[in-house]
Amino acid sequence: MSTERFRAVEEFALRHRVAMVVVWSLVLLLGGAAAVAGLGRLDQSFTASGGPGHRANQAVQERYGNGAAVAPLVAVATWPAAADVRDPGTAGRFASAVGRVAGPGARTVSYAGTGDEGFLGADGRTVYALVYPGAGRPDLAGLTAVEEAAGTLRAGLRSALPEARVDVTGVLPLTHDSAVAGPGPLALAAKAACALGLLVLLVLAFRSPVGALAPLLLAGVTSVGALVLVEAVAGFTEISFIVVYLVPVTALVLAVHRWAQPPGPAARSGVAGGAAGAAACAALALFPAAFLRSVGIAGLAVCAVGTAASLTLTPVLRSALRRSGTTRPAAVRVGWRPRGVPAAVRVGWRPRGVPAALGLALLVVLAGAATQLRVGNPEARALVASGPARDGLDRLTAAGVPTGALNPLEVLVPGGVDARAVAARAARVPGVLLAAAPTAPDWRRAGSALVVVVPEEEPMTAAGAATVTALRSALVGPDDTGSDAGHDGAGLDGAKHDSTRARAGHDGAGHDGTDAPVLVGGSGVVDRDLVDGVYGLLPYAVPAAALAGFGVLAAFTAAGAAARAVAGGLLAAAASAGALTVLWQWGPAGTGAVTGWVPLVVGVFAFCVSLERAVASASGGPSWAGPVAAGAGALAVLAVGLGPQVELALLVSGFAMAATLDALAGRRLAVPPSGPVAVLRSSPRLV
């Protein structure tokens, strides 16, 4: 496609600049209102749909209205030394208080109702109960209700049991405490410094405060337009809420990078990079996994809307800035070099040899570390350092109760099957702390029954994931767990188990008179579904996206340049996942795992911006554009997301590292333009 066609589009936009301003203003204002109103269309469960665990959790939610994928609250009581926690009166008093304070619709289970000593601490004084609040649903409103129920439960139990020390913990209370703690003085200072650094960087790069606002405006209209499109698609298919994080950050980096390009090659490189990114994301959206479909559609929308804005709004903004005199015309040098530098040294040349080899080696090492990524919720001890929920966790572990109690499994037993027999089989599975079949009405509905299984280890650990696999094998069998149910861990390096396992749970009819299987659900199976249902597709999805991006780029540039651009994008995406592994899974934070959807979002971001940077570099764009865009993206996310909340910190650091590593990959794999090219000099301080 010739450059003249792109220039014709830009000239059309300039001739109708008023109409362009009106259209994009409507997109920003009306689209912004529509985007906010449409957030409810997005799936807010943050779980992988379609897997056996998801089907089990759906069945539990339909019949019982709570629990399933939502981890329960854990009420912990430590009695005085003289008390006997096994005494029926003491145990019954604790269970009665828990049931009374938990509220209507809640399901509770403890030692009093089961007689299982797995509910007792090794110190002989501590007892705990699992509480599934009645309002617990796998969405933002339901999770908020569970967090509020934790405070009510804590206050009510302390009032009802004044002689005992009572705490309430759980995955959601721990996460909530990390969110409400807020950033400390140092973090606030760092956030302010990042925000100020972003503004200074843009002003230095684009030579005026008004010019620095232009890419922010472009990012705004791109984000709003893309979100409106994504939410429109969400009316027809499941789209995850994770797109809310991917869209604005990608839009910002693309906007800064395109605003930095010279007016001549800007349109062509923007269309080529945007089309390639859109094609790659469209390929991802075709795969039958909600998370892949979500990031694919979001990436496609950002690339499409961003390209439209760069063709129609960017020329209008450049023209307005020139007319207002708020920015000086950028000097253009052809073959320029500093005085005293040999003629062989051209603008855009960068040292090669040892620095390049070291940079490339770092990227390759980080990409290798990505193969050891373990996806799942961070371990409980890493969620928050202090607070009421952490006090409860510390009291629980000090009493010898393993942290697997925070993520119990729920086994849905159909009618005609003895729930106590299922619990007995589950209790014999290695790694299971206890398995109980409560007889209270809240645990038996419509002919079915629920069995609660408490593992010793958390599900994101290798031992915990192996327990989930063994439990599914013992209760359900390989035919009902899916072909990939044999992974022995939640990591990407899990091995296959022997698939010749005995089938159980089909020895009776379901509540509706049909043969129905035992279903293993609960918050502990979510990670396994993510590994099997999403990451299991990556060996097919990544090559498909790469081929789609390469095919589009090859239509705009040479095949070699297209191959190098795609290779750089893949390397940046893989290195970003590896950096998350090193920093969080192995690093000082010691989360033990990385939240499953974070590497997907960060990887798509890295791939899209890498394609954009590579195309612009090959088109003769300024060498500083990539680092400036990367710096702007990193500073923006750090200014917004720095704080104690672990999952947000994971995402923010992933975006920042992806932007930085993409700039590094671009320096090592960029295709140099052939012959002298016009280089836009926006600031001598940055060039």
Amino acid at residue number 464? G
- pLDDT at position 321, please? 81
Question: CA-to-CA distance for 571 and 367, rounded, in angstroms?
Answer: 7
Q: What is the mean pLDDT of residues 10-36?
A: 92
Q: State the pLDDT at residue 514.
A: 41
Answer whether residue 560 shows pLDDT above 80.
yes
Residue 358 pLDDT: 78
For residue 189, what pLDDT is reported?
Answer: 92
Lowest mean pLDDT among 257-266, 315-324, 326-335, 417-426: 326-335
pLDDT, tens digit, for every residue of 618-660?
777 777 888 888 899 999 999 988 877 888 899 999 999 998 8
Residue 265 reports pLDDT greater than 70: no
Name the pTM for this structure. Answer: 0.84
CA distance 129 to 562: 59
**438-497 pLDDT tens trace:** 999 999 998 899 999 999 999 888 899 999 999 999 987 654 444 333 344 444 443 333
pLDDT of 67: 82
158: phi then psi, degrees, rounded to nearest 5:
-65, -30
Please compute the mean of the pLDDT values over residues 408-416 and round it to a whole number: 93
Among 36-50, 340-354, 574-588, the range with the most confident prediction by mean pLDDT is: 574-588
HEC string of 511-548?
A: CCCCECCCEEEEHHHHHHHHHHHCHHHHHHHHHHHHHH
Q: Measure the CA–CA gap between 679 and 453, rounded to whole angstroms.
A: 65
User: What pLDDT digit, counting tens, does each position of 170-191 carry?
Assistant: 998 998 888 777 777 888 899 9
Question: What band does 339 get if pLDDT is binned at 50, 70 and 90?
Answer: very low
Mean pLDDT, residues 218-247 taken together = 94
pLDDT at 192 over 90: yes
Buried (b) or exposed (e) across 364-393, using 16+ Cβ within 10 A? eebbebbeebbbbbbbbbbbbeebbbbbbb
Q: Which two tokens stand for residue 522?
A: 């609960």
For residue 452, give the nearest of 94, 129, 43, 80 by alpha carbon. Answer: 129
Q: Report, as an integer, the average pLDDT of 246-252.
A: 95
> Residue 540's pLDDT is what?
95
Tens digit of pLDDT for each residue in 28-54?
999 999 999 999 899 887 777 677 888
pLDDT for 342:
42
By percentage, how much of the chain surpasses pLDDT 90? 50
Query: What is the Cα Rg of the chain in Å?
Result: 28
Q: What is the pLDDT of residue 264?
A: 65
Cα–Cα nearest to 235, from 430, 38, 67:
38
Average pLDDT for 239-257: 93
pLDDT tens digits for range 561-570: 899 899 989 9
Is pLDDT above 60 for 1?
Answer: no
**pLDDT confidence bin for 318, thresholds 50/70/90:** confident
The pLDDT of residue 626 is 81
- The residue that leads in pLDDT, 277 or 516, is 277
The whole-number pLDDT of residue 11 equals: 84
Does 584 score more than 80 pLDDT? yes
Please check the confidence at residue 311 and state whether its pLDDT lies above 70.
Answer: yes
- CA 409/CA 521 separation, integer angstroms: 6
pLDDT at 266: 65
Closest of 671, 670, 661 to residue 574, by C-alpha: 661
Residue 85: DSSP 8-state: T
In whole angstroms, what is the distance from residue 469 CA to residue 524 CA? 11
- Predicted local confidence at residue 325, as pLDDT: 57
Share of the chain above pLDDT 70, in %: 83
Whole-number pLDDT of residue 141: 65
**Residue showing tokens 């979510």:** 526
Average pLDDT score over residue span 120-134: 92
57: helix, coil or strand?
Answer: helix
Query: Closest Cα partner for 9 from 403, 275, 426, 310?
Result: 310
- What integer pLDDT is reported at residue 507 of this predicted model? 39
Query: Residue 666's pLDDT band (boundaries 50, 70, 90)?
Result: low
Q: How far is CA 331 from CA 267, 310, 334, 680, in A?
A: 19, 22, 10, 7
pLDDT for residue 140: 63
